[in-house]
Amino acid sequence: MRRVLLWGAGAIVVLVGVVAIGLRVPAVQDVVLERGANAVVSSDQADLSDPDSLTLIFCGTGGPFPDPERAGPCTLVAAGGRVFLVDSGTGGAQRLQQLRVPMGQIEGVLYTHLHSDHIAGLGDVAMNSWAGGRTSPLELYGPPGVENLANGTFSAFGIDSKSRIDHHGEEVFAPQAQAINSTAFVVPSRDEVVTVIEDGDLKITAFKVDHVPLENAYGYRIDFKDRSVVFSGDTVRDQNMVRFGADADVMVHEVMGMANIHTIIGALRDNGQSATAKILTDASEVHTSPVDAAEVANEANAELLIYNHIVPPMPLGVMEDIFMRGVSDVRSEGVVLGYDGLRVHLPAGSNEINYGAL
């Protein structure tokens, strides 16, 4: 028996050696590359065309901190074939491409507010959706100032855009699609909503949330047929999420792990980094803890709560445990710690909520 085992182990070693040597042969390398390229290119792209569902794909669940696991705030929403992003944080466009999402179907971006971590990836969204086949101008919606974002991005990418058309031709880069249009709107008061888009079974409304010192920070509710999702944007615990998120199938709520962030603040102060400590202290006063977000979801009677804009990054497993402390005491089920690549599918005419990695 021992000889058989030794023979088997030896055969495996020889096989591994043969494969390793083979991969050093140029002809073998070429075959491996060709097959790998064909496998990637021929793989199915994410389907965004279902006429009877509301679908979310999380392309960025982080915040302004550098985080290898999470891009900046970015969520794709597909409703009956219409496709939008909610915010365009750093790295969101690249994450969508990694997830094999057909970028050319993105028609616009809904901005919750105009902080840098929510807007910095717009140039990549505009360029990669154009390269992906978008044939109409990209439409931006958001608070006053979104017109500056549109015009500034268009201007900054002007030389690049012209070179793409000149180099690849108008059949690939439709000239009219290089434009970035904007619709700025003001929600008059905390008691009102503004209808941003209404098209058949799709209705998108905006409402005020509390993210001082910004005067105009918005949450969004998206209703498609009998399904709904509400986005908090950046905010402290706010009753408007309860009011305008009432009975939503899914509540996407920003969160900051207060225990983790305060430990980091203490370490910064101990090491003489008082300016950064102040920035994080100020930031901790304008965001929502995981427990508070869970209580908001309960009050709103939301079926599923997804944590988003997750700050700080959590490279250590213990940080996630600390982050989630107390949540189960408040909400024992229906809570998901969001992650890049999370897909949520809400079929119309049903109470089903299907979610998992794309």
**pLDDT for 24:** 85
CA angle 70, 76, 77 (to 5 degrees): 145
**pLDDT for 285:** 98
Per-chain mean pLDDT for the chain:
95
**In contact, 228 and 284? CB cutoff 8 Å:** no
Question: Which residues, other chains included, contact 331 with Cβ-Cβ below 8 Å and sequence gap of 6+?
Answer: 294, 295, 297, 298, 305
CA angle 29, 30, 33 (to 5 degrees): 85
**pLDDT for 137:** 99
CA-nearest of 347, 346, 247 to 297 is 247
227-231 and 218-224: which strand pairing?
antiparallel
Question: Which residues, other chains included, contact 222 with Cβ-Cβ below 8 Å and sequence gap of 6+?
Answer: 54, 77, 79, 202, 203, 204, 228, 229, 230, 231
Give the global pTM: 0.92
Q: What are the tens digits of pLDDT across the range 50-107?
A: 999 999 999 999 999 999 999 999 999 999 999 999 999 999 999 999 999 999 999 9
**pLDDT for 42:** 77
Residues of the chain with pLDDT under 50: 4, 14-15
Cα 178 to chain centroid, rounded: 23
Cite the DSSP H helix spans in 188-238: none
Cite the DSSP H helix spans in the chain: 2-22, 26-42, 92-98, 116-119, 122-131, 146-156, 158-168, 239-244, 258-270, 274-284, 290-300, 317-323, 327-330
Which residue numbers are catalytic? Answer: 117
CA-nearest of 115, 60, 49 to 83 is 49
Q: How many Å apart are CA 130 and CA 118, to the nearest integer?
A: 20
Q: What is the DSSP letter of 248?
A: -
SS3 73: coil
